[in-house]
Chain A
């Protein structure tokens, strides 16, 4: 039973466009929602994270939008660049219990 559902599985975006990846979670006890970026052959790297007391967090071109009532959160990548091409994972959890989505493979075409 997957506690965090991520969509889409893959995404192709033109350079300069907006990439949007969505996640939904089930456990209302989760109170930490990070996004990770992973390049082939590397470990996941923490990109940005949010707590449920805010609805949006922005760091550079990356924004998390959080909807607590719907139990959904999303990652927006503005002005997407070819260097953003990677696999992105959302996660949700608390107290050492982190559950990950299945991942989205993003390709940004030049």
Chain B
């Protein structure tokens, strides 16, 4: 599992509330990613990080922000959750820009 934990594993929240998901890794991987998984779309990259305080946008970054203040933690924040952000969110890590290993996921429901 590449030493990845995600928290919380499940969350139900209401439209308009802020939500923060946490990804924690124990193996000092340089690269970290946030994806969302929706039926019919596979996985889509939200944001990624290539080092502490170094982040960049992915394919579906609107409505999301990220922060990485320590190598081991990568946070995904939904400033004001919407129903369209109901999804399963996966964190991934990589030693290089290619070989990604995924965490167990967080199921988020926005009512």
Contacts and interface: CB of A to CB of B under 8 A. Distances in A.
Interface residues of B, number: 25
Tell me if A's interface is mostly helix, strand, loop or mixed: strand
A100 B90 contact: no
Contacts of A95: 97
The 10 A-B pairs at the shortest CB distance, nearest first, are namely A43-B102, A100-B42, A100-B43, A32-B98, A102-B42, A44-B102, A96-B97, A95-B97, A43-B104, A43-B105
Interface of B: 1, 4, 31, 33, 40-45, 48, 50, 56, 58-59, 90, 97-105
19 contacts: A2-B41, A42-B104, A43-B90, A43-B103, A45-B101, A45-B102, A46-B99, A46-B101, A49-B98, A89-B43, A94-B97, A96-B31, A96-B48, A96-B56, A96-B97, A97-B45, A98-B98, A99-B59, A100-B42
